[in-house]
Amino acid sequence: MKLIFSSYLVQWGNYGVMCCWFLLMLLYWSGKGAFATSEYLIGLGSYDITGPAADVNMMGYANAEQIASGLHFRLRARTFIVAEPEGNRVVFVNLDACMASQLVTIKVIERLKARYGNLYTENNVAISGIHTHAGPGGYLQYVVYIVTSLGFVRQSFDALVDGIEQSIILAHGNLRPGSIFVNKGEILDAGVNRSPSAYLNNPSEERNKYKYDVDKEMTLLKFVDDEWGPVGSFNWFATHGTSMSRTNSLISGDNKGAAARFMEDWFDGKQGGNVFSDGSHVGSERIPRRISNIIPEDRKLLDLAASFQASSRREVTKFLSISRRVRSVLRQGDKPKFVSAFCQSNCGDVSPNVLGAFCIDTGLPCDFNHSTCGGKNELCYGRGPGYPDEFESTRIIGERQFRKAVDLFKTASEMIKGKINFRHAFVDFSKLEVTIPKEGGGSEVVKTCPAAMGFAFAAGTTDGPGAFDFKQGDDQGNPFWKLVRNVLKTPSKEQVDCQKPKPILLDTGEMNVPYDWAPGILPLQIVRIGQFVILSVPSEFTTMAGRRLRDAVKAVFTSTSNQEFNGLHVVIAGLTNTYSQYVTTYEEYQVQRYEGASTLYGPHTLSAFIQEFKKLATALIHGQSVEPGPQPPDLLNKQLGFLPPVVLDMAPIGSNFGDAKSDVPKNATYKRGDMVSVVFVSACPRNDLMTEGTFALVEMLHGTDNWEPVYDDDDFCLRFKWSRPAKLSARSEATIEWRIPKGAQPGVYRIRHFGASKGLFGSPRHFEGTSSAFVVI
């Protein structure tokens, strides 16, 4: 009996083990199944695209005197990838750059094909710019866009291509099961119409459908990893990247780049403390414990600070700059960093200078129709909310977008569900037949024109006025400037008639010496993620032009009986994949303000876009393929660049690179809100872009000998300014300014500078400089 019972126990024990094993496997596979049933894989990534912070003309204002000479904060490429586990996938890249570039897009796609095969192609990859006017230029391939940058700038181009590729690689590597939520809300104080006289030329019955003369709605996507929780957000909202003026020389992401920095820091602060909207970090991950807890008396703080004097050294590598950076990739754990992108939409006539446009000589409002002051456009400037401080205006407009995005992020509850799909086509806009409604009924066929820019283009806008005697609203032109124009290219009668009432200043579409001056072939793209649709346009659509395009595409989707298109969200991603300037309505074009003069392909440009996007939408809905269209040219091997290289850097006799030329005062004590400024002997920042590193750093003393990084050149409160005593001088200096934030902790601090100098032979040599320590109370 005992033997039988013992045998029974052994058998039962084996059976129990098998049951436990079965239950564990069941739990494991059910867990796997839970992940497998997630509708999407999501992955986000971000990478530095700052580019050369010296000598290079900035892209946006076409001001030849606006040359980069330092950093306000760094520029980034931010990417999301959404994929069906066994199906389609899409990539959206948001650039802290003025716009996308056809040449950049071509080269990024080539790299992706080499790495991933046909997984990522021009069909399912969208690359969009936020339209900051404070980034390095020279990266577009068409002549008219690189004149002021002295032609092509390879360093600007490479920084973008490399950074975009790396951000996509990171996003691809982060692909995991997750969900997406969408939310919408209004921002009433982040944009005004800068061409209201043109907007008023739209039909009154159309204008009456809308409460405002600009779009006030922000649309946000929230990305939530099944395991890690929220990992990022992307939103679309229309306002120009022109809070920073045409005289600014510090590289900056302007208001949208600032908003992205604020939101990413806000989220990081939620994990370990509080974050202030000025970019200051008070979280336990970023700021060590208060030194006043260690040494409570200010006298002891001063004595401790006095033991750390200014110094410099050469035996350093670029790795030191990367490793000391506050947001260094080396500090990341298993979970990827939160990525937040503030994308551009139909911003063509939307200015962030919300106080209005005024004459700088009289203080009176500018002329309504022409934006002039006494007949001169040069005196009419828009004022931002922080006027006259452009940095404050940038912060305020960025913060207004940031606050709304946080609100939408917190309350997002509508889940994105449905298929992923996309359609892409190249279209030749220089000779496109367009069918439009005819007055009195029926339809007629019209044509677009080869690209041309009108006289009012040279007048600029209230965000950045032009020069000479040009003015907005000019539909006649000027005999003298027509004579000058004809030296370059006299437009044909056919072209003049096609572009009417635009008086042609530059016939760019018919100019091809030394190579093409303007694009003719444009990429059009629709990306669908469930009930969310992105219209990737290569232009700056005005408010009403964008509304018409969105409505037309939405009507195509809703005309079907397919229930999955109910509750459709349609956003415009402006300045995407290439750049072709502006798109106005037909009625706005007649007024010939700046936007109309910059609508390249004539009065029927918008109708052409609507026609072609409706074709893409129809094909997407019915699962039909589309003709790829004619390929745009790859002009890389034809590019000419005349920016002189860095030949030599020299330190003054008796000085070394990194020496504090102007140090903090002895026994210096500062309060929050004060400005700390240190000047270092430096070298040209073009020698090393410090990609994913920093030129400037603020460190806080932890204990008695451990310095912790707390702010770097990606923080809104820290500015890196670089200068030469003369244009061709081999000597230079770096001024690092730190406006002590409200959230800075009392303690001992110091400022560091990283750089690289170039000799006549060999590679640049890295150096660092450190200020004397000082006290913040």
Residues annotated catalytic, as ranges: 351
Calpha distance 499→289 (Å, rounded): 66
Name, in order, each residue with C-beta under 8 angstroms of 436's C-beta and a sequence gap of 6 or more: 443, 444, 445, 446, 604, 607
**What is the biggest distance separating any 2 CA atoms in the chain, rounded to whole angstroms?**
120
Two structure tokens written together for 403 = 């606050």
d(CA 709, CA 247): 31
Q: Which residues of 124-156 are buried (b: 16+ CB within 10 A; e: fewer)?
A: bbbbbbbbbbbbbbbbbbbbbbbebbbebbebb
d(CA 329, CA 332): 5
Helix (H) / strand (E) element for 90: namely strand 89-95
Q: How is 567-628 classified by DSSP, letter by letter?
A: T-EEEEE-SBSS--BEE--HHHHHHT-HHHHTBTT-TTHHHHHHHHHHHHHHHHHHT-----
* Helix axis angle, 605-622 to 543-558, nearest 10°: 30
d(CA 711, CA 676) in angstroms, rounded, equals 13
Cα–Cα distance for residue pair 288/506, rounded to 1 Å: 58
Tokens of 748: 């001992």
Cα 245 to Cα 57, 139, 366, 384, 463, distances in angstroms:
14, 21, 18, 10, 7
500-519 in b/e form (b: 16+ CB < 10 A) is: eebbbbbbbbbbeeeebbbb
**H-run or E-run covering 675:** strand 675-682
From CA 611, how far away is CA 761, in angstroms rounded?
58
Rounded CA separation 49/47 (Å) = 6
Q: Which two tokens stand for residue 418?
A: 């449905």
In eight-state DSSP terms, residue 276 is -
Q: Are 463 and 355 in contact (CB under 8 A)?
A: no
Distance between CA 708 and CA 331 in Å, rounded?
Answer: 13
Q: Which residue has the tokens 């066994």?
A: 86
DSSP 526: E
The number of beta carbons lying within 10 Å of the beta carbon of residue 668 is: 18
- Residue 405 gets which letter from DSSP? H
Name residues whose C-beta falls within 8 Å of residue 528's C-beta, 6 or more positions apart in sequence: 418, 419, 420, 421, 422, 534, 620
Nearest one of 528, 463, 388 to 82, comparing CA atoms: 528
Distance CA 142, CA 389 (A): 34
Structure tokens at 196: 């209201």
Q: What is d(CA 274, CA 262) in angstroms, rounded to the nearest whole number?
A: 12
- Block residue for tokens 């079907």: 560
SS3 state at 750: strand
Task: Yes or no: say if 399 and 277 are a contact pair by the CB < 8 Å rule.
Answer: yes
Per the CB < 8 A criterion, the answer to whether 325 and 73 are in contact is: no
Element at 92 (helix H, strand E): strand 89-95
